[in-house]
Amino acid sequence: AQTVTQSQPEMSVQEAETVTLSCTYDTSENNYYLFWYKQPPSRQMILVIRQEAYKQQNATENRFSVNFQKAAKSFSLKISDSQLGDTAMYFCAFIKNTGGFKTIFGAGTRLFVKA
């Protein structure tokens, strides 16, 4: 069975600085997708960034980038130039790409961006 672990329950960062959120996962699959979702306070969950396991190049979306280490089963999220609007819960998630596309979420990391 697949598992997703986020070891940092809570983090804080100063506005304009960079922060990295950690995620590790466990799977025997070779073909899968990894995601970071953002859930702002009292607002809907949205997708931040996704990574296909077969791609070696790390995904980037504006200020958000990932460090995908397939052998280590690690998938960290880096937020550059942090903004107050980045304050949210961040969830790491996994979907295997073979039959039964069940999404597995980690427990989340609460990020506070301080002014």
Partner 1 sequence: EAGVAQSPRYKIIEKRQSVAFWCNPISGHATLYWYQQILGQGPKLLIQFQNNGVVDDSQLPKDRFSAERLKGVDSTLKIQPAKLEDSAVYLCASSRGGGGSLLDTQYFGPGTRLTVL
> Interface with partner 1 by CB under 8 A: which residues?
4, 6, 32-33, 35, 43-47, 50, 52, 91, 93, 95, 97, 100-108
What's the maximum distance between 2 C-alpha atoms anywhere in the chain? 45
Nearer to partner 1, 84 or 107 (CB): 107
Q: Which is nearer to partner 1, 3 or 18 (CB)?
A: 3
Least distance CB 60 / partner 1 (angstroms): 15
Nearer to partner 1, 16 or 107 (CB): 107
84 is written with which tokens?
Answer: 């107050």
Contact between 113 and 18 (Cβ < 8 Å): no
- From first CA to last CA, the distance across the chain in angstroms is 41
Q: Are 22 and 36 in contact (CB under 8 A)?
A: no
**Shortest CB 88 distance to partner 1, Å:** 13
CB of 9 to partner 1, least distance (A): 8
For residue 40, the one-letter residue type is P
Structure tokens at 73: 């089963």
Nearer to partner 1, 15 or 26 (CB): 26
Residue type for 90, please? Answer: Y
We find the least distance from the C-beta atom of residue 98 to partner 1, in angstroms, to be 10
